[in-house]
Amino acid sequence: MKRLLFISFAVLTLASAALYWTRSERQITVPVLYWITQVDPLKEETIALFKSWLHDRGLPPVEVRIDNANQDPTKKLAQGLAGVGADLFDIYIFETELFSQSGMLMDVTEQAQAAGFGPEATYPALYGDIVVNGRQFGFPRNAGGNMCWINQDTFARYGVPEPGEHWTWDEFEQLGRKLVTAANPPGTRQRVYFIQGFQNVSPMLLRRGLGLDIFNETMTRCTLDDPRNTEVMRRQYRWVAELHLIPTLAEQMTMAADAGRKGDEWFYLYAKGRYAMLLVDRWALIRLRDLGPLRSRVVEPCNSGFRNMEIGCGLLAAYAGTKHPREAAQFLQFLTSEPFNLLIARSGDSLPPVPKYAKTEAFLRPPDHPEEWAMEKMFAATAPEIGIAYARSPFVQSGTLYRPVTGIDQQVYDAVVAGRLAPEDAGRVEAARIDAEIALNVRADPKLRRQYDELVKVQQKIDALRAQGRPVPVAWITNPFHRAYYKAKGWLQEEPKL
């Protein structure tokens, strides 16, 4: 028995050593960057372009490998904080503060300024997505905002007129009722919806239309305990629970199961006419091109009052603990290059990260897809014109607010749809929960407390000026929505400088 134990131990030790010495990384003499992202042809092509970009500039070669098994934010966080994070990783909209606050993102401010991939190289609206407390933590792979995709065949099939480029909530409701009624005969299970579920996005769009955002100007307090939010919640309840223009989360899951697909079911159902519209960014082209020729149009999201749409980016960041910081920074710099931006333009992904490439022929008139030209024009023009980034308060993580299912915004929305919370109470409940989170975070972190106290004083000054009807210095406002709204209303003392 003892011999067996020792033999097993020795064999396992030798096998481990052999595995270590023969692993593929040891065969490669160039630095290897691991990139947590999806595996798709676009990423493969990005890596090939990066290698040739390095070669063209006479830089030493770098190997980039995709890790698609660790995309879950929890895994990225746990691995990063344990010191074994990937060198590069995609960061999605709800993760920026989580990762930047933890310190696991490489601060690239100086390299970015020196190599030309600072915030000024991309859209001004994305400033808050890549810069936190004055420090830059990455660069966008793409940029854009959700627009309404219209399946023209579906509208024609049910004899419903298509909306114009700019349309209101009332028009949305009116057209939606017509289409859903025509497409779902009485006594049958509903199979066709006007638009896919967008409860994560829509409240913000609607609130902003009424001049309301989740936070105040300095992002020190939640402002949803406001009658305008009640109006939004009522309208959403009507659209989802009463008129069934939009499926609930569970209905969406059912539709996904019907499609027999996961991940790209929206597009499949849109192509099949079960969603008459989609609210999604330009990258839908990547999926829709594979589903055959479709007669589609793109219009801006329905807006009443203040015209707006969310704009955001797919951020690429480097790990603070990377063994190859120089090469990681080179990869970020490569994102501003012409080959990469033209790749984004022709692939059907969102807008190229460098704005000038969204004005090129390659973007506006892709030769293989003349049917998309009108849509490309809409994307290139609308997102920079009315796009406003998410409000990211330093005092509460976006994930806590917007995370699917468990985010406060989603939970309150679900409670309203389930009839457990009256729309009139939703704003009060949500504001109380978010303010409690802010208070908790501020109490726990002295640095944050100082910042908070300063901003509360600024907020008081803003409130005092607004009470007198006087304009406010732009530098006082940190919430991107309020900057845009104040500017549109003429309430700013000066233009924002980013």
Partner 1 sequence: MSRQSRARRLGVGLLFLLPNILGFLAFILVPLVMSFGMAFTDWDFLRHNLFRHEPLHFIGVGNFARLFTHPLFWQYLGNTFFLMLGLPFAIAGSLGAALLLTRAGRARHRIKAALVLAMVILAGSGLMLLRGGMAESGVWLFFGLLTAATLIAGVLTGGMLYRTLFYLPNFTAGVATFVLWKKLYNPDTGPINQALAPLLDQFSAWVRSMPNAFTFGLPLVSAGLATVIAGWQARRLRRQWDQSEAGVAAVIAGTVALGVPLALLLGWWGVSAALAGAMSLIVGAVFAGLTFRRSRVWGRTKAVDKGLGTEVALAMVLIPLLLLLAAGIVIGPSLPAAAAAGIEPPNWLGDYYWAKPAFIMMMLWAAIGSNNMILYLAGLSSIPPELYEAADMDGATAAQRFWHITWPQLAPVTFFISIMSVIYGLQGGFEMARAMTLGGPAGSTTTLSYFIFNEGFETGRIGYASAVAWVLFALVFGLSLCNFRYGSRHVDD
Cross-strand bridge partners of residue 135: 132
Structure-token pair, residue 440: 């908790």
Q: How far is the CB of 101 from partner 1 (least distance, A)?
A: 5
481-495 exposure pattern, b = at least 16 Cβ within 10 A, e = fewer? bbbbbbeeeebbeee
Does position 37 bind partner 1 by CB under 8 A?
A: no
Q: How far is the CB of 411 from partner 1 (least distance, A)?
A: 5
Q: Which stretch binds partner 1 (CB under 8 A): 33-41, 60-68, 72-80, 168-176?
A: 72-80
User: Tokens 């603070």 map to which residue?
Assistant: 320
The residues near 18 (Cβ < 8 Å, ≥ 6 apart) are: none
> What is the footprint of partner 1 within residues 104-133 (CB under 8 A)?
104
The β-bridge relationship of strands 147-151 and 387-389 is: unpaired
Binds partner 1 by CB under 8 A, chosen from 405, 468, 495, 497 = 405
Does position 187 bind partner 1 by CB under 8 A?
A: yes
**Helices 41-56 + 325-334 axis angle, to 10:** 110
Residue count, binding to partner 1 (CB under 8 A): 44
Query: Are 429 and 421 contacting, i.e. CB atoms less than 8 angstroms apart?
Result: yes
Of the pair 370, 446, the CB lying nearest partner 1 is at 446
> What is the footprint of partner 1 within residues 216-255 (CB under 8 A)?
248-251, 253-254
Binds partner 1 by CB under 8 A, chosen from 11, 28, 78, 475 = 78
Does position 82 bind partner 1 by CB under 8 A?
A: yes
How many CA atoms are closer than 13 Å to the CA of 424, on its beta-carbon side? 0
Of the pair 7, 28, the CB lying nearest partner 1 is at 7
Q: Write each residue from 437 to 476 as x if it is in contact with partner 1 (CB under 8 A), else as -, in one continuous string.
A: ---x---xx-------------------------------
Q: What's the CA gap between 250 and 259, in Å, rounded?
A: 14
Report which DSSP code applies to 184.
Answer: S
Q: How far is the CB of 266 from partner 1 (least distance, A)?
A: 17
Which of 282, 345, 355, 360 shows the shortest CA–CA distance to 45? 345
**Helices 227-237 + 408-417 axis angle, to 10:** 60
The β-bridge relationship of strands 309-318 and 387-389 is: parallel
Backbone angles phi, psi at 32, to 5 degrees: -110, 125
Of the pair 36, 66, the CB lying nearest partner 1 is at 36
Of the pair 173, 414, the CB lying nearest partner 1 is at 414
Does position 61 bind partner 1 by CB under 8 A?
A: no
Interacting residue ranges for partner 1, rule: CB under 8 A? 2, 5, 73-74, 77-78, 81-83, 98, 101-104, 187, 189, 248-251, 253-254, 257-258, 320-321, 397, 399-400, 403-406, 410-411, 414-415, 417-420, 440, 444-445
